[in-house]
């Protein structure tokens, strides 16, 4: 394998940092969305006859879990 130049390494590091920060930010927003769905069920509009038959509280727990996983992965990448 050939050696990577300094310019290529800077671009790769910058792209990785950008992706990690973006993933962490989205994870925080997902966790906050999940907390708001768990804490107060009237924050979101619950529509009848939706494709998924899931309770709003369960939906909130799912988003909270996925948000926490995204934050952990994003911080681990950093």
User: Looking at residue 31, what is its pLDDT?
Assistant: 96
Q: Which band of pLDDT confidence, cut at 50, 70 and 90, is reported for residue 2? A: low
When computed from its CA atoms, the radius of gyration of the chain, rounded to whole angstroms, is 18
How far, CA to CA in Å, does 52 sit from each of 6, 22, 58, 67? 50, 28, 12, 20
Q: Which band of pLDDT confidence, cut at 50, 70 and 90, is reported for residue 43? A: low
Q: Which band of pLDDT confidence, cut at 50, 70 and 90, is reported for residue 47? A: low
> Region 17-26: what's the mean pLDDT?
96
User: Looking at residue 44, what is its pLDDT?
Assistant: 62
Sign of torsion over alpha carbons 59, 62, 68, 74: negative
Higher pLDDT, 46 or 70: 70
């Amino acid at each position: 394998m050939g050696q990577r130049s300094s310019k290529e390494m800077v671009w790769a590091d910058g792209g990785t940092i950008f992706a990690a920060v973006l993933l962490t930010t989205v994870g925080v927003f997902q966790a906050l969305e999940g907390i708001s769905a768990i804490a107060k069920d009237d924050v979101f509009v619950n529509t009848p006859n939706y494709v998924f038959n899931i309770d709003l509280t369960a939906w909130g727990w799912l988003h909270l879990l996925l948000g926490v996983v995204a934050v952990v992965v994003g911080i681990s990448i950093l």
